[in-house]
Amino acid sequence: MNIVNFSLLCSVSNSLATILSIVLFLVGIGIGIGAGFGIYAVVMNKKSKSAKKNADKILEDAYAQAEKIKKEQVEQTNKEIGILKSTFEQENKERREEAKRNEERLYAREELLSKRETALDKKTEELEQAKERVHNQIEALASKENTLDEMQENIIKELEKVSQMTKDEAKQVIIDRYTDEAKIDAIKIAKEIEDNAINEADKKARNIITLAIQKCAADHTSEVTTSTVTLPNEEMKGRIIGREGRNIRALEAATGIDFIVDDTPEAITLSGFDPVRREVARIALEKLILDGRIHPARIEELVQKAQRDVEETIKEAGENACFDADIHNIHPEIVKVLGRLKYRTSYGQNVLNHSLEVSYIAGMLASEVGANEKVARRAGLLHDIGKAVDHEVEGTHVSIGVELARKYKESEAVIHCIEAHHNDVEPKTLEAVLVQAADAISSARPGARRESIENYIKRLQDLESIANSFAGVEKTYAIQAGREIRVMVKPEQISDDEAQVLAHDIAKSIEAKLEYPGHIKVNVIRESRFTDTAK
């Protein structure tokens, strides 16, 4: 029992000790917290005072800074207000002055209009008075005219009695009398005007044309329809002919050209009117001779190769011509057709060279007279393009050239120049006239062209026949290769003034009836010869 009580007592004692420890711990914590709060309160109080002091200082500085900024802003605003006020006053002053000037101008205009109105009223009154005076004068003139008509009729009747001629007969006599005199006077005046114009224009025209020609003069070539190929030996003729003529027939069939094998030593003649096919045949034959293998299959192969070579040469020739003439943006097909002119001749003149020459001359003439140089050069280069295919297409080379140019979208200005260069249509532009002149210059310069002897003789005969057809002509001589004609007249039938008229009439007749390159000078010679014999 004592042991149990003792255990209980010990247990209670331990519990009390534990509770006491807890209580003491809690009390200690409370005391610590209180002390902490006290210390915190003291520290915070100290910090609060320091922060308040700093805040007061910051506020004071902020107030000072704000006051300074406010003062500066006020000064700046006052300054800007002053500037604006000054500007406004200046503008206002200028506007008042401008308004004053406008008002003065209006007053001046009103005064001027008032004066003009007064003057107009005065002039109107004067015009009315003048109109009345003119009306009175017209009436007086009409009265005088009636009187003069009566007097004229009386005079005419008296004259008819004296001359025993009617009015119409006398008028015809006077007309017949003065017609010849008026014609001679007109010729003299025309000659004087022509001489003056020639004196003024001849020097400049000579300089322009001489400059154009000397820059563009080119050699001429012989007009031929045949080509000759040289052979290494006579044996080659037999190889070209082949067994039973099969090789030469294959050549003619492939090229469309006649191969003439005659007695000419070591040479074969190629004949044909198509210059491009003739060139293909020549190249193919030369290649066959070098190759040595001459048979129909090889002939066809080399002819095709020659055609490609010629086509390439044609293209290059067209491109070079465009480059030399400084012409761009030409349709490729036009370039090819242009290159074909390399193998085309006209009266012995290479047509491609002639076209380039016309392009140069037309361009230089255009630059001298202020025309469109680009159009003149382009039209000059293309003016004879129809000659490249005129043996393949029906029509004149002019109409063919116009169709080609229109097909490949050339400008209407260029087309008109092509169409007008042989006067198929009347030239309507300065460029067309210049191309026409350049074509004549290139064709007519010495050495440019060569005619066949038959055409040459026929042209001279026609020239002399035209001159001999006029009354009073005694003899006619065509000289200087048909570029001048001398007409001898009968002095007893043709006077000096009539001789001048005759020269003009013969020139016009030649222009109407003949086609010729360049110009023909007409010289009418009237001379009187008196012969006597000393005995």
Total structural domains in the chain?
Answer: 3
pLDDT value of position 447: 46
Are residues 358 and 270 part of one domain? no
User: What is the CA angle 336-342-348, rounded to 5?
Assistant: 145
Are residues 334 and 443 part of one domain? yes
pLDDT tier for residue 451 given thresholds of 50, 70 and 90? very low
Q: Which of 410, 418, 415, 411 is nearest to 436 (CA)?
A: 418
pLDDT value of position 164: 66
pLDDT value of position 456: 61
Q: Does any domain span residue 300?
A: yes
Are residues 394 and 341 part of one domain? yes
Are residues 440 and 475 part of one domain? no
Distance of CA 251 to the CA centre of its chain: 47
pLDDT value of position 205: 60
Q: Does any domain span residue 459?
A: yes
Are residues 297 and 238 part of one domain? yes
pLDDT tier for residue 218 given thresholds of 50, 70 and 90? very low
Are residues 409 and 362 part of one domain? yes
pTM of the model: 0.44
pLDDT value of position 143: 84
- Checking if the pLDDT of 17 tops 70, the result is no
- Checking if the pLDDT of 214 tops 70, the result is no
pLDDT value of position 501: 87
Q: Look up tokens 């480059």; give the residue.
A: 323
pLDDT value of position 448: 46
Average pLDDT along the chain: 79
Q: Does any domain span residue 101?
A: no
- Checking if the pLDDT of 251 tops 80, the result is yes
Q: Does any domain span residue 296?
A: yes
pLDDT value of position 15: 62
Interval 422-450 mean pLDDT: 76
Q: Does any domain span residue 368?
A: yes
At position 27, the amino acid (one-letter code) is: V
pLDDT digits (tens, 9 = 90+) for 51-100: 778 877 888 888 888 888 888 888 888 888 888 888 888 888 888 888 88
pLDDT digits (tens, 9 = 90+) for 99-131: 888 888 888 888 888 888 888 888 888 888 888
Most confidently modeled of 4-18, 27-41, 215-229? 27-41
Are residues 458 and 446 part of one domain? no
Q: What is the distance between the alpha carbons of residues 176 and 181, in angstroms, rounded to a whole number?
A: 9
- Checking if the pLDDT of 245 tops 80, the result is yes
Interval 387-405 mean pLDDT: 82
- Checking if the pLDDT of 9 tops 60, the result is no
User: Within 10 A of 114 (CB to CB), how many other CB atoms are there?
Assistant: 10
Interval 519-534 mean pLDDT: 80
Q: Which residues lie closer than 8 Å to 496 by C-beta, 6 or more apart?
A: 526
What is the b/e burial string over 99-108, where b = at least 16 CB atoms within 10 angstroms of the residue's CB?
A: eeeeeeeeee
Structure tokens at 358: 């016309």
pLDDT tier for residue 4 given thresholds of 50, 70 and 90? very low
Q: Which residue has the higher pLDDT, 42 or 512?
A: 512
Q: Which residue has the higher pLDDT, 161 or 31?
A: 31
pLDDT tier for residue 44 given thresholds of 50, 70 and 90? confident
- Checking if the pLDDT of 444 tops 70, the result is no
CATH for 417: 1.10.3210.10
Domain boundary among 284, 303, 324: 324
Q: Does any domain span residue 45?
A: no
- Checking if the pLDDT of 452 tops 50, the result is no
pLDDT digits (tens, 9 = 90+) for 93-103: 888 888 888 88
Interval 33-52 mean pLDDT: 72
Are residues 488 and 437 part of one domain? no
Q: What is the distance between the alpha carbons of residues 516 and 268, in angstroms, rounded to a whole number?
A: 36
Q: Which residue has the higher pLDDT, 116 or 37?
A: 116
Are residues 520 and 475 part of one domain? yes
Are residues 444 and 339 part of one domain? yes
- Checking if the pLDDT of 211 tops 70, the result is no
- Domain region containing 495: 453-525
At position 486, the amino acid (one-letter code) is: R
Domain boundary among 282, 299, 324: 324
CATH for 482: 3.30.300.20
Are residues 471 and 400 part of one domain? no
Question: What residues does 488 pair with on adjacent strands?
Answer: 475, 525
**Coil/strand/helix, residue 70:** helix
Q: Look up tokens 């003048």; give the residue.
A: 130
- Checking if the pLDDT of 202 tops 80, the result is no
Most confidently modeled of 143-157, 258-272, 325-339? 325-339
pLDDT value of position 210: 55
- Checking if the pLDDT of 346 tops 80, the result is no
CATH for 248: 3.30.1370.10
Are residues 441 and 331 part of one domain? yes
Structure tokens at 395: 């029509």
Domain boundary among 269, 301, 324: 324
pLDDT tier for residue 1 given thresholds of 50, 70 and 90? very low
Q: Which of 152, 131, 149, 153 is nearest to 141 (CA)?
A: 149
Q: Which residue has the higher pLDDT, 187 or 249?
A: 249
pLDDT value of position 454: 52
Q: Does any domain span residue 20?
A: no
Interval 478-507 mean pLDDT: 84
Q: Does any domain span residue 164?
A: no
